Structure 1
Amino acid sequence: MDFKITKIILYPKNTSLRRREIVFDTSKVNVLVGDSQTGKSAVIPIIDYCLGSGKCFIPVGPIRDYTEWFAIHVQSGNTQLFLARREPRDQAQTGDMYFDEGAEISIPEVISAKNRNTTQVVNRLNQLAKLPSLDFSDDDADKKPYEGRPSFKDFLAFCFQPQHIVANPYTLFYKADTLEHRLKLQTIFPLALGAITNSSLELKKRIKALEDNLKIKKRELEERLKVLKAWEVEIRTNYVAALEFGLLNDAPLPSEDWKLQDYVRYLKNIPENLRKTSFHKVDVGATNQVLNYISRLRKNEDEIILDIQSRREKLEVMKHFNYTSSSFKKAFQTQQVRLEVVNSGWLSNNLQQEHDCPFCGANSDSAKLEISKLVEVAKVIETKTEKLDKSKSLLDKEVTVLEKQVTELENQLNRVRKELSQLSKEYSKLEDYNQKIQNVFRYVGRIEQNLINLKETEVDGSLKEAIGKIELELSILSKRYSTTSVNNKLQVALKTISNNIINYKKILKVENYSNPTELHLNELTLKISSKSGREDYLWEIGSGSNWMGYHLSALLALHDFFLTLNQDNYVPSFMVFDQPSQAYFPETIKSNKTDKNEDTEQLFRSSDDYERVKSIFKAFSKFNKDNSNKAQIIVLEHADREIWGDIENMHYVGNERWTKNNALIPQEWIE
């Protein structure tokens, strides 16, 4: 993707001050030279932040304290872009952005308010990069976060080499030191290398959809074949059943040599014959009416049974009481007989009022008193006997009434049960008739479905025809896209990149530069093969200068390849390297020429490190020249112009070294 940084612009919080601009050349290697703590290392996070990063990595301190808006001006083909993002203050980031686009745009003097958010800006960058709108997932129901659609931001991993990455043995790419970014980078790498493209992603999705549909169709065909196979076994029974139901008019009995098609010839007429068959009309709701009436009778039956039981229990109690009262009456009658002499008055009339005791001679009237008591007892017994006679008479009447009621209830119960028996028989007939009709319709339904299955599974059946069409389309699409073709393209790309890495390693004076070096996509690092055949990963190779050399070689070789992809190149065509010379550039040479010790400088110039530092810029120059300035390189360095100034295609940014008084944040902003 043609995408080059023309300017970095900082807008001060104090709007009365001038904005700060850093201008870059889009056709040369831009070298921004400066002392430590002057803001060089903020360039990468500023560009990243303006391009929609999820978090603001711009260093806290004066840069964020005095800046209100960070902005970049970009040339993308014939289009200019202006992207500004507000300083997030106490937040991790802010989505407030100002965006402008056109053939030629004016950079605003002051930004008063946002006109976009990061989501809108990133979506527009995705459109400009012509990134696929499809995701990488094979299963939408189980899509992983890193399998989402590619984003412009994902490809910035190939554009930045900050100071902690440029010579890091464990991390080769920007932000690949976090799992989230590693997984996403592994996913988009084939797309970045052109092994898959927008069109191939569409083909992959189409093939996956067809394969899923083919599985469904084949599963459906298998199920129908199973049903049909079972039907073939039962075909004779089904045919005879159709004869019994009267659904086959004038059809012959099957013979032993009949085949499936012989049965089908007659069975296929069943649906039409059914429409011509008349069934006895059943009133709508007749079954429910009968059932409801039977239910009411059964309820009545239960109530009568309970009533009979209650009256029987009462009758039993009364008969028991009647029997008990008769026993009492007999006891009373016995006592009355014994007291007859008292009741007759004979004993009272013949007994003297007083008498003398024959034993002691004492005079007493006790005999007369005792006889009086017996007379009272006899009267009580007579009264109770009369009451028992009256009670028994009433009880006998009640028993007679109850017995009559029980008899009537039993007769009523018998009538209800007889009616229930008759209704049950009638309902059973109705149910049998309904069941027969239901069986006929179920049977005909099965016949119709089996006939459909038979038709679908025939050579010219619609289901087989659909399967054939899907298989044909899959065959055609598989020639245009396959995992094998993707892997082949990937291997060709990696081979080309490996060869280019060796070329850059030679320029950068990497030890054993001729050893084959392979980009390992799963590990996101480099794998180096020694002459003995041993394979070592980057972290197993010693020396910081070697690590730096491998990093630069890999990034330059990758961009060499990206530029050959033309319209399928989704990687922005710029790279920013932060202090690649850090591995061997002595602090004593990093200051201004006026501060340098001439003996120390001469010593450095005569050392191998001097040539190695110079080789870094030679590699950048070669890349720029070989690719006809199609990609932009920005180098943030301590190394002064005297080291790289005589190399072609170099642009000294600002034509002066950044110092404490001439840094990213102007001194007037601070004062």
Structure 2
Amino acid sequence: MKNKEDLDNQASRYVGRLEEYLESLDSLSDFNDRGYDSIIKDIEYIESQLKEEFNVDSKIRTAETYINKQMNKIGEKFDFEEDYKPINLKFSLLNFDLYYKTDDDEKVYLRSMGSGANWLYSHLSLFLALHRYFCKIGDKSVIPPILFIDQPTQVYFPANIEDNSNKFDAKELVKKRGKPENLDADMKSVKNIFEQLVQFCTDTKDLTGIEPQIIITDHADGLTLDNVTFDDLVVARWRNRGFIHPLPDEGYNVVEDNVVDEEQAVDGVKAEQLNLLDPPN
């Protein structure tokens, strides 16, 4: 841009475009002012109906109390920093605020909670508590208890660290990260994440009769867990293959081919490949 024309000319042109845009907003202000009072009245009327006829406030408080209680119960088992123990997280169903409440009733929001680990565990605690509530209310919930989590171990093995090896090597990754002395503590926390997620599903089924499903994509692998065999949790490994595997042969025309094999499914893809609960080796 600098080579194209004088910078002063460029600045003048953009200032002109900005002024034109602001003038267009002014032309809408009269319309907005006329409709504003009417909209506010509509909102107030709807809110009053919700409170009087459906007892929404009471239901929200009941749900919020349950979610906050479960969130802190779950959070106690994660590796929060010592400054945030004991866990006292709060979540508002009115504005979706999530914060830590101190003994002095001060609200500490996530942006001020320090390390990425605190962020991760705050979100995990909240999401799990929400899904436990969905299971608790059963058929009344319109949200299925299915939680997808992408790379929760990024806190300990950041995505910007290259990992092209055939197997997960935690020792090599922390070395690349420049903090090999943290290996034992990091691996302990990583293992605890998976163990608590498994335990959450079991406990929730015991409490509610419904077992939630948690789907995780991560490069952590081969972990030795206390309460479950890690390989039993793994649906598929993609280190040496793509998500779609095997790929169809080049030039394969699914429209012209007649699928007659009973093991074949739609568009020439084998049936067992469509079943994500029982994927091919």
* Correspondences of 1:216-615 after superposition (within 5 Å): 481-482=53-54, 485-511=55-81, 512-585=84-157, 587=161, 591-593=165-167, 606-615=183-192
Of 643, 652, 666, which aligns to 2:234? 652
- Which stretches in structure 2 are left out of the alignment for 5+ residues? 1-37, 251-281
Alpha-carbon distance in 2 for matches of 1:563, 1:615? 23
On the 8 A contact 2:110/2:119 being kept in 1, the answer is yes
* Superposition deviation, residue 575 in structure 1: 0.8
The one-letter code matched in structure 2 to 1:624 is C
* Superposition deviation, residue 589 in structure 1: 7.4
Give the match's secondary structure for 1:642.
Answer: coil
* Superposition deviation, residue 595 in structure 1: 6.8
Of 222, 243, 252, which aligns to 1:664? 243
- Which stretches in structure 1 are left out of the alignment for 5+ residues? 1-140, 148-203, 209-476
Q: What is residue 333 of structure 1 aligned with on the other side?
A: none
* Superposition deviation, residue 642 in structure 1: 2.2
* 2:200 corresponds to 1:623: yes
Of 640, 655, 658, which aligns to 2:221? 640
Q: Larger % of strand: which? A: 1
Alpha-carbon distance in 2 for matches of 1:562, 1:578? 21
The one-letter code matched in structure 2 to 1:658 is W
On the 8 A contact 1:520/1:527 being kept in 2, the answer is no
* Superposition deviation, residue 567 in structure 1: 2.2
Identity %: 28
The one-letter code matched in structure 2 to 1:578 is D
Structure 1 pair 621/648, CA: closer, same or farther in 2 (3 Å)? farther
Which has more radius of gyration?
A: 1
Aligned alpha-carbon RMSD (Å): 3.7
On the 8 A contact 1:517/1:528 being kept in 2, the answer is yes
Higher mean C-alpha deviation, range 499-508 or range 590-599: 590-599
String of CA shifts for 1:219-274, please: whole Å, max 9, x gaps: xxxxxxxxxxxxxxxxxxxxxxxxxxxxxxxxxxxxxxxxxxxxxxxxxxxxxxxx
On the 8 A contact 1:516/1:530 being kept in 2, the answer is yes
Alpha-carbon distance in 2 for matches of 1:503, 1:648? 25
* Superposition deviation, residue 523 in structure 1: 3.6
The one-letter code matched in structure 1 to 2:151 is Q
* Superposition deviation, residue 608 in structure 1: 1.2
The one-letter code matched in structure 2 to 1:652 is V
The one-letter code matched in structure 1 to 2:109 is Y
Give the match's secondary structure for 1:641.
Answer: coil
Structure 1 pair 644/664, CA: closer, same or farther in 2 (3 Å)? farther
* Correspondences of 1:194-209 after superposition (within 5 Å): none
On the 8 A contact 2:70/2:129 being kept in 1, the answer is yes
On the 8 A contact 2:168/2:222 being kept in 1, the answer is no
Q: Larger % of helix: which? A: 1
Alpha-carbon distance in 2 for matches of 1:582, 1:604? 18
On the 8 A contact 1:581/1:639 being kept in 2, the answer is yes
Structure 1 pair 597/537, CA: closer, same or farther in 2 (3 Å)? closer
The one-letter code matched in structure 1 to 2:62 is V
The one-letter code matched in structure 2 to 1:506 is E
Task: Calculate the TM-score normalised by the size of structure 2.
Answer: 0.58
Structure 1 pair 644/618, CA: closer, same or farther in 2 (3 Å)? same
Alpha-carbon distance in 2 for matches of 1:568, 1:668? 42
On the 8 A contact 1:562/1:569 being kept in 2, the answer is yes
Structure 1 pair 620/596, CA: closer, same or farther in 2 (3 Å)? closer
On the 8 A contact 1:604/1:610 being kept in 2, the answer is no
Alpha-carbon distance in 2 for matches of 1:614, 1:604? 17
The one-letter code matched in structure 1 to 2:191 is K
* Superposition deviation, residue 590 in structure 1: 7.6
Give the match's secondary structure for 1:622.
Answer: helix
The one-letter code matched in structure 1 to 2:234 is Y
The one-letter code matched in structure 2 to 1:556 is L
Bigger relative contact order (CA 8 A; separation at least 6): 1
The one-letter code matched in structure 2 to 1:666 is H
Alpha-carbon distance in 2 for matches of 1:647, 1:626? 14
On the 8 A contact 1:641/1:652 being kept in 2, the answer is no
* Superposition deviation, residue 644 in structure 1: 4.6
On the 8 A contact 1:574/1:631 being kept in 2, the answer is yes
Structure 1 pair 555/667, CA: closer, same or farther in 2 (3 Å)? same
String of CA shifts for 1:578-618, please: whole Å, max 9, x gaps: 111111126477843487768979x6885211111112112
* Superposition deviation, residue 574 in structure 1: 0.8
The one-letter code matched in structure 2 to 1:611 is K
